[in-house]
Structure 1
Amino acid sequence: MKLERESITLLTKALQRLESGFDLPDVNQSLDTKTMEEVILKTAEKMQDNYPYFHPLFAGQMLKPPHPIAKAAYMLAMWVNPNNHAMDGSKASSPMEKEVVADLASMFGWKKHLGHLTSGGTMANLEALWVAGNIHPDKAIIASDQAHYTHERISEVLKLNFDKVATDQQGRLDLEALEEKLKLGNVGTVVCTMGTTGLGAVDPLKEVLELQEKYPFRIHADAAYGGYFRLVENLALETIQKYALLDQVDSLVIDPHKQGLQPYGCGCVLFQNSEVAKYYIHDSPYTYFTSDEIHLGEISLECSRAGASAVGLWATHQLLPPIPKGEFSKDLQKSRNAAIKLYKKLLSSDHFLPIVAPETDIVAWTLKGASTNEMSEKAQSFFKRAEKNHLYLSLYKYPTAKFEDVDFEINTEYLICLRSSLMKPEHEDWLDQIWDRLEQSL
């Protein structure tokens, strides 16, 4: 297949426009282009040893290709190489960051916010839990057993108490188990995962907010993967209602480098209460002098950060605003349609068995068998055969204790099953080809 190249033409024109804005003497640059060509071509050959993450037949892990406008804008920024820690090193890109962060806050219905971009969801969640620990230093962080492992690991790094709560068969936080923890009176923050990495499940935010009226705790929404589904209209009504309540949480994380069409790494952390800025206060004798406005480094734990991430996201928002009924949201709906279509095909198959109904755009399934051990072995063998047919899936461990009323023997702790993140809008059009390759791989 051919890789997209049109953005390179756009980049060349943009570089000329960028260059015209600097009225400075030329700097002599002597480049050994012959050797550079040898190196870059060798690099291209090395990069051939990759799965085709950008292609619709890669239907495995959460790897969504950046939009061409994001790639071009990111590369354009690299000729300046801004550092969005302080205005000194990011005169243009810091205001762009503030603008896109405000766009994201507005997407969730937030009228006020404090936030910034990060190098990814891990760092964004770290900042959110760090603030949570400052507010409730002696209380625990609670997350479901299907929440991303980063919460437990970050809590350990921050020396915060952490506890897991069981989930239901769909992979969503169990409310009765949560309330039992809350009754003990030592919970400071509950993490609601708005789209789990494994199944794409969305925790029951409405009921957690109701519990917040009975017990004093904060809510942190980990919407790193699923946050953009707030814009999607073809979800189940229950899921739409959960996303509509994100304006009521205390803090929130979203990753534009997942569903937001951005290159790695681009995450974002948001706080409803701007007073949490007091926890970030620090002094730097060599920065924060070029502007009286707040510098992004003054509300961030990270120091140097790529301003190019903000530039790429800003350009993408100009082309594809993250608003309901826009082109961006319609493309997300195509991913959701692909998940529904695959699920229905799996349901009607004589060979495959879906694990749960998809709540977002992730589908998990297995091959039918007499026991979970046999089904796990079948899934692992199938995974390898599918790759030989140029269909790239992923594997997932589903806790067998969550199964109810099944017609197979449960003789393992986990069922290893197949999993697809249908994040590309092209997946909807390619679903029939994907299905054909699934059947060929039997």
Structure 2
Amino acid sequence: MKLEKESIALLAKALEKLESGFDLPDLNHSFDSKRMEEVILKVAERMQDNYPYFHPLFAGQMLKPPHPIAKAAYMLAMWINPNNHAMDGSKASSPMEKAVVADLAKMFGWDTHLGHLTGGGTMANLEALWVAGQIHTNKIIVASDQAHYTHERISEVLKLPFTKVKTDSQGIMDLEDLESILKKGGVGTVVCTMGTTGLGSVDPLPELLELKKKYDFRIHVDAAYGGYFKLLKNLEESALRKYAMIDQADSIVIDPHKQGLQPYGCGCVLFKNPEVAQYYIHDSPYTYFISDELHLGEISLECSRAGASAVALWATHQLLPPVQNGEFSKDLSKSRDAALDLYHRLIKSESFYPIVKPETDIVAWAIAGSKTSEMSEQAKGFFVRAEKNKLYLSLYKYPTSKLIDPPFEVDSEYLVCLRSSLMKPEHQNWMDEIWNRLLKSIS
């Protein structure tokens, strides 16, 4: 079955269980079911105008289908529609959120922490940099030129100065350029991206920690995409060394809606020092009554937040705990293996030119040619032909200034490449089919 539908029967059974827990008079809901059917079928028809994000032949953008347990739990929660701002509106789902946030903190090696779920990585990074700005008032935020573009935007929103650091040919932060910025003074926070959204590259955290001793800045780890790779053993030795020190960061962001099998939007921000709660805590005249414990709304810039996200993630953690050597991490390892498989096939082919060796599960490659301008045009044409062959890729602009001794003429500022995010564990078993469709798409 292309679209998983078996969980609908489980949801119906769970709804009966849920309803049995409320001893209340019937509401006698009255709906125009015929009209609703007409509308929902229209929705289904409109939704057909999508790429097949759920299928392994969609190997382009960062879109990973939620696990059936996450979808079922999310929908089940929607019959209650809890708001995880305060315990008054989320008596069951707030404790679930605290439990899953603790799971993620433990995954990174933290027994004590402060954190909560967010609507996504952008909001999570906003909160981390907002706290950084409270601690280092008016000091500079620094991130690499391959970091997510929201860091620059967020800094502008927070009225904090922002500076970009150069990256090397692998898309990793250049330490010499960073130190030249640090020497000038005034840097409050360095953003360490662990899993860039372009190439999946991992910044040099061990070296950043050494520089921190010398220049006294906060380290914020943006692991929105790459955080779960902390669980894997089949990374390059250099990447394993970086992930092994993630517990020494000051704050971490991770997006369960990327690699964590969750529906959009589900992000998470974590702080190593719980005392940063002092920058959040406020009073509300009508929300904080039924519990003396710290409410999630008291440590969040967001107010209303979907409790269903916490319920879905809690259910997923119950079924697939985010631990090393568990079923979840083994499936994520398959994505990493698929990326390496594709990379090695590209190396052996005369038709393609791989850009970097993947550190996570993202692979980027160019179409072989004599000059970068022509290769870019060939990549654009290849992208269209691949889609006609039901293989869905993405495009990536790689700065030609980062190329090292290329076997072709550089006559353009950027080299347009093909790019695959091999996020689905099924990509491993589908690699022969993906490769055949790649070859078929060559002009």
Match runs of 1:125-274 below 5 Å: 125-274=125-274
CA distance in 2, matches of 1:88, 1:111: 27
Q: Percent identity?
A: 77
Residue 245 of structure 2 aligns to a residue whose secondary structure is helix
Counterpart for residue 53 of structure 1: 53
User: May I ask how many residue pairs the two structures share in their alignment?
Assistant: 442
Report the CA distance between 1:367 and its aligned residue.
0.3
Counterpart residue type for residue 331 of structure 2: D
Counterpart for residue 433 of structure 1: 433
CA distance in 2, matches of 1:202, 1:153: 21
Residue 151 of structure 1 aligns to a residue whose secondary structure is helix
Residue 213 of structure 1 aligns to a residue whose secondary structure is helix
Kindly provide the CA deviation profile for residues 78-100 of structure 1, in whole angstroms up to 9, marking residues without a partner as x. Answer: 00000000001000000000000
Report the CA distance between 1:256 and its aligned residue.
0.1
Residue 385 of structure 1 aligns to a residue whose secondary structure is helix
Counterpart residue type for residue 439 of structure 1: L
Counterpart for residue 351 of structure 2: 351
Counterpart for residue 16 of structure 2: 16
Counterpart residue type for residue 40 of structure 2: I
Counterpart for residue 405 of structure 1: 405
Residue 65 of structure 1 aligns to a residue whose secondary structure is coil
**TM-score normalised by structure 1 residue count:** 0.99
CA distance in 1, matches of 2:91, 2:250: 30
CA distance in 1, matches of 2:238, 2:325: 19
Match runs of 1:82-121 below 5 Å: 82-121=82-121
Counterpart for residue 396 of structure 1: 396
Counterpart for residue 320 of structure 1: 320
CA distance in 1, matches of 2:56, 2:277: 42
CA distance in 2, matches of 1:62, 1:239: 20
Counterpart residue type for residue 384 of structure 1: V
Counterpart residue type for residue 430 of structure 2: W
Kindly provide the CA deviation profile for residues 315-349 of structure 1, in whole angstroms up to 9, marking residues without a partner as x. Answer: 00000000000000000000000000000000000
CA distance in 2, matches of 1:439, 1:407: 22
CA distance in 2, matches of 1:244, 1:111: 16
Counterpart residue type for residue 273 of structure 2: N
Counterpart for residue 40 of structure 1: 40
CA distance in 1, matches of 2:406, 2:172: 20
Unmatched runs of 5 consecutive residues or more in structure 2: none
Counterpart residue type for residue 105 of structure 1: A
Counterpart residue type for residue 347 of structure 1: I
Is 2:327 the counterpart of 1:340?
no
Counterpart residue type for residue 307 of structure 1: G
Counterpart residue type for residue 345 of structure 2: K
Report the CA distance between 1:132 and its aligned residue.
0.6
> Which one is further off, 311-320 or 404-413?
404-413
Report the CA distance between 1:2 and its aligned residue.
3.0
Unmatched runs of 5 consecutive residues or more in structure 1: none
Is 2:291 the counterpart of 1:291?
yes
Report the CA distance between 1:156 and its aligned residue.
0.6
Report the CA distance between 1:273 and its aligned residue.
0.8
Report the CA distance between 1:138 and its aligned residue.
2.0
CA distance in 1, matches of 2:10, 2:210: 51
Counterpart residue type for residue 54 of structure 1: F
Residue 256 of structure 1 aligns to a residue whose secondary structure is coil
Kindly provide the CA deviation profile for residues 382-421 of structure 1, in whole angstroms up to 9, marking residues without a partner as x. Answer: 0000000000000011111001111211111111100000
CA distance in 1, matches of 2:329, 2:281: 37
Counterpart residue type for residue 335 of structure 1: S
Instruction: Give every structure 1 segment of 4 or more consecutive aligned residues whose post-TM-superposition deviation is greater than 2 Å.
Output: none
CA distance in 2, matches of 1:7, 1:386: 33
Residue 26 of structure 1 aligns to a residue whose secondary structure is coil
CA distance in 2, matches of 1:214, 1:424: 41
CA distance in 2, matches of 1:387, 1:26: 52
Counterpart residue type for residue 409 of structure 2: E
CA distance in 2, matches of 1:230, 1:216: 26
Counterpart residue type for residue 224 of structure 1: A
CA distance in 1, matches of 2:344, 2:354: 9
Report the CA distance between 1:433 and its aligned residue.
0.1
CA distance in 2, matches of 1:376, 1:317: 43
**TM-score normalised by structure 2 residue count:** 0.99
Match runs of 1:375-386 below 5 Å: 375-386=375-386
CA distance in 1, matches of 2:345, 2:15: 48
